[in-house]
Amino acid sequence: MAVLWLVLLGGMLTFFLGVFVWVFIQHLLTVEIPSTLKHPVKLRILHFSIQYLITLGTILEKLRICSMPAFLLCIQDLVIIKKDPNMLVTDTRFGTVPVRLFKPKKVSSKLRRGIIFYHGGGGIFGSLDVYHGLGNFLARETDSVVLLVGYRKLPDHHHPAIHLDCLNASIHFLKNLQTYGVDPSRVVIAGESVGGWVVATVTQALACQDKISQIRAQVLITPMLQGVNFQLPSQLQKHNVPLLTRDLMITFFCRYLNIDLSWKNAILTGACVPPDIWKKYNKWLSSDNIPQRFKGKDFSPEFLGPFNETAYLETKHVLDEKISPLLADDKIIAQLPDTFLLSCEHDIIRDDTLLYKKRLEDQGVPVTWHNVEDGFHGCIIFFDKQFFSFPCSMNALNATISYIKGM
């Protein structure tokens, strides 16, 4: 019996070591660390660790033991949250949606600002616990009541679960602002990564509802805002930069939208976009709208195609404005509130922010934009992670807090 256990233990160690070596070699051959990124070794370790866990989850999925998203959810449940004695934190539910409320214990002589925050994670990562530190910090530094929304994710829930959960939780909060001590004239909707995308879709939806308290501002941190043009400068130049590589981005994108991964190349090359539709949206999605300094000397304008009708039929829902809010009508865009956009120079989806900036400004919406020159996708969440914190993390967070406090 002891021999059997030794054989099993040896087999497991060999398996984990083999995966480790495979991911390490792949990491060295593919990952690109721009020279302006600070602490490159730390970033390599962080990215390698994430890739290792994703690879393990993918193997377990192929062995039909558990899905990759389920494996990652189990890992992130190990997160330990830090309690702040100066903050009142309440876990509750708005209907079926779990939420976490952060409110400073210090008595305020007037109603506080309200911040509705949607966390990131590509529909796979992220949770109330993972973003607890960020929610707590926002509430403390801006003296606000922060609502952190815990929406449904993969593997059990696909589009439009995230949008619906965040919209419903937000409407509930907005209808009961007095209960939470929030000033109806100072409500900000904010989100990071996929949460930034939800900010765009929810704010557009709320713009059409007259009976709901008006949103003072929307804050979009490194959002992905369209699923049509993946030939933009940042998509081509930053495709192997941590933490969000091109392969990881399209994998999360397809999984959440329930698109078979066999179509990912058609999506990336634009073969699933009919010429007449591209002609219609080209004015908003073309790289011509990206400032020249972001394109580089060797960038060539995108050429989408050749058109694949089967791919279009399988992926056409990406043209819905609830998936690609950049495609919303001008009349909806014009109703949007003051906007803060934060992009990171070394983020593969940086240019979505630049496209949205132009769309908003063309419709007269006041926009404040901050680009973190040494930033990478997801950097803001590491502001309090000690060894894995980066200067760009606090840069991004401080810029966001400064804007919110100015509201």
Give tens-digit pLDDT for 328-366.
Answer: 999 999 999 999 999 999 999 999 999 999 999 999 999
Q: Which residues contact 101 (CB under 8 A, 6 or more apart)?
A: 88, 89, 90, 91, 92, 145, 146, 147, 148, 180
Give SS3 for 375: strand
Residue 103, pLDDT score: 97
Residue 5 domain-assigned (yes or no)? no
Q: Is the same domain home to 353 and 223?
A: yes
Residue 376 domain-assigned (yes or no)? yes
Give tens-digit pLDDT for 218-229.
Answer: 999 999 999 999
Residue 373, pLDDT score: 95
Element (H, E) at 87: strand 87-94
Residue 339 domain-assigned (yes or no)? yes
Higher pLDDT, 376 or 210: 376
Nearest Cα to Cα of residue 113 among 190, 58, 51:
190
Q: Indicate the residue among 57, 76, 95 that finishes a domain.
A: 76
Higher pLDDT, 164 or 13: 164
Residue 187 domain-assigned (yes or no)? yes
Residue 8 domain-assigned (yes or no)? no
Q: Which residues contact 254 (CB under 8 A, 6 or more apart)?
A: 260, 261, 263, 264, 267
Q: Is the same domain home to 239 and 160?
A: yes
Residue 2 domain-assigned (yes or no)? no
Please, which contacts does 289-293 make with residues 24 or more away whose CB atoms are closer than 8 Å? 289/354, 289/355, 289/358, 290/232, 290/233, 290/351, 290/354, 290/355, 291/354
Q: Mean pLDDT, to the nearest integer, of 1-10?
A: 73
Residue 7 domain-assigned (yes or no)? no
Lowest mean pLDDT segment, chosen from 213-217, 372-376, 393-397:
213-217
At residue 28 the predicted structure's pLDDT band, cuts being 50, 70 and 90, is confident
Q: Is the same domain home to 29 and 175?
A: no
For the beta carbon of residue 128, count every other beta carbon within 10 angstroms. Answer: 18
Q: Taking 70 as the threshold, does the pLDDT of residue 211 lie above it?
A: no
Q: Mean pLDDT, to the nearest integer, of 206-229?
A: 89
Q: Is the same domain home to 66 and 100?
A: no
Q: Is the same domain home to 70 and 93?
A: no
8 Å CB contact between 147 and 116:
yes
Residue 342 domain-assigned (yes or no)? yes
Residue 399, pLDDT score: 98
Most confident of the following: 4-18, 202-216, 225-239: 225-239
Any catalytic annotation for residue 347? Answer: yes
Q: Taking 80 as the threshold, does the pLDDT of residue 304 lie above it?
A: no
Q: Indicate the residue among 25, 47, 76 that finishes a domain.
A: 76
Residue 297, pLDDT score: 80
Element (H, E) at 75: helix 68-76
DSSP character for 82? P
**Structural domain boundaries enclosing 344:** 84-407
Any catalytic annotation for residue 193? Answer: yes
Q: Is the same domain home to 41 and 143?
A: no
Q: Which of 347, 351, 370, 393 is catalytic?
A: 347
Residue 113, pLDDT score: 97
Q: Is the same domain home to 35 and 63?
A: yes
At residue 1 the predicted structure's pLDDT band, cuts being 50, 70 and 90, is low
Lowest mean pLDDT segment, chosen from 34-38, 174-178, 367-371, 391-395:
34-38
Q: Mean pLDDT, to the nearest integer, of 385-393?
A: 90
- Mean pLDDT computed over every residue of the chain: 93
Residue 12, pLDDT score: 80
Give tens-digit pLDDT for 29-80.
Answer: 899 998 888 899 999 999 999 999 999 999 999 999 999 999 998 988 888 8
Any catalytic annotation for residue 27? Answer: no
Q: Is the same domain home to 98 and 60?
A: no
Q: Is the same domain home to 155 and 234?
A: yes
Q: Which of 127, 193, 287, 324 is catalytic?
A: 193
Q: Mean pLDDT, to the nearest integer, of 253-258?
A: 96
Q: Is the same domain home to 239 and 121?
A: yes
Q: Is the same domain home to 298 and 346?
A: yes
Element (H, E) at 143: none
Q: Indicate the residue among 27, 46, 76 that finishes a domain.
A: 76
Number of domains in the chain: 2
Q: Mean pLDDT, to the nearest integer, of 14-38?
A: 87
What's the CATH number where 242 sits?
3.40.50.1820
Q: Is the same domain home to 62 and 91?
A: no
Give tens-digit pLDDT for 133-143.
Answer: 999 999 999 99
Q: Taking 90 as the threshold, does the pLDDT of residue 96 lie above it?
A: yes
Q: Taking 90 as the threshold, does the pLDDT of residue 148 lie above it?
A: yes
Nearest-angstrom CA–CA distance, 188 and 216 = 6
